[in-house]
Amino acid sequence: MSPAPTHLKECDSAESEFVVNITFDSYPQETSWVLRDNCLGNVVESGGNYDKPDSSFMLNKCIPSSSYTFIILDSFGDGIGGEFGQGYYSVSYEGKVRGEGAQFGFLESVNFGKCSGGIALKTTLCENNMIPVELDIIFDAYSHETSWTLINDCTNKIVDFGSGYVDKSDPFNVTVCVPPAKYSFTILDSHGDGMCCKYGDGSYKVSYDGYEVAVGGEFNSTENVSFGGCVNADFKEEST
């Protein structure tokens, strides 16, 4: 049974209430989530590094009224409910449950809200010592099966992600400006047959600071590449 939306505060007229509830399974360290503003193109909230099995987490806050995508991920690929506990999540926006579940494999996304007359921000030039990460995707015949994440390994935070490419035949391109760090890019196919070549010549390419760091298309459920390097003393990694 899904939990009822929780109301803790009244929001200003330009804001809406956002609530996320998560009950973890026996492996909370596998769970992370992110909330992205689709109108501005930035990550608003994210969570991860949970370490208490079978515990619960709740976030309730007022956020600018906009169009959002919430995505929950399980690094092992078995969701948060089933054999290893009674995990569950729910997401509420403006007092209504927008998404809920437990058995979702690697990830599940929920879309809600709408833009207020704005256009999604597309960053092409990076400033203030930021570094561009550029992603190019050519989809196969089943674009809705494709999703991806970009994670800062130095902070264990999700930087950006993409999913929900329904009936998309045009190539996809995005440039994300990031600080110097070590990053992991993961591309996933929910059907487990990659992007090439039985149902089309799909492919992807990732560039970091102008250098190509990954290219592919023939994989099964997921493919991962790491690049860059941490610049602080607490996390020493060699650059790739």
Domain 15-113 has CATH 3.40.50: no
| Torsion angles phi and psi, residue 145, rounded to 5 | -80, -10
Pairing of strands 157-162, 146-152: antiparallel
pLDDT tens figures, 189-211: 999 999 999 889 999 999 998 88
What is the reported pLDDT for 9?
A: 65
Give every residue of the chain whose pLDDT is below 70, as ranges: 1-9, 117-125, 232-240
Domain over 131-228 is classified CATH 3.40.50: no
Looking at residue 143, its pLDDT comes to: 93
User: Which sequence spans correspond to the domains of the chain?
Assistant: 15-113, 131-228
Q: What is the pLDDT of residue 231?
A: 72
Q: What is the model's pLDDT at position 210?
A: 83
pLDDT for res 7: 53
- The tokens describing 99, both together, are 């998404």
- 197 preceded by cis ω (within 30°)? yes
Q: How many residues does the chain have?
A: 240
pLDDT of residue 189: 94
Q: How many CA atoms lie within 13 A of 179 on its CB side?
A: 8
pLDDT tens column, 30-48 = 999 888 887 777 788 988 8
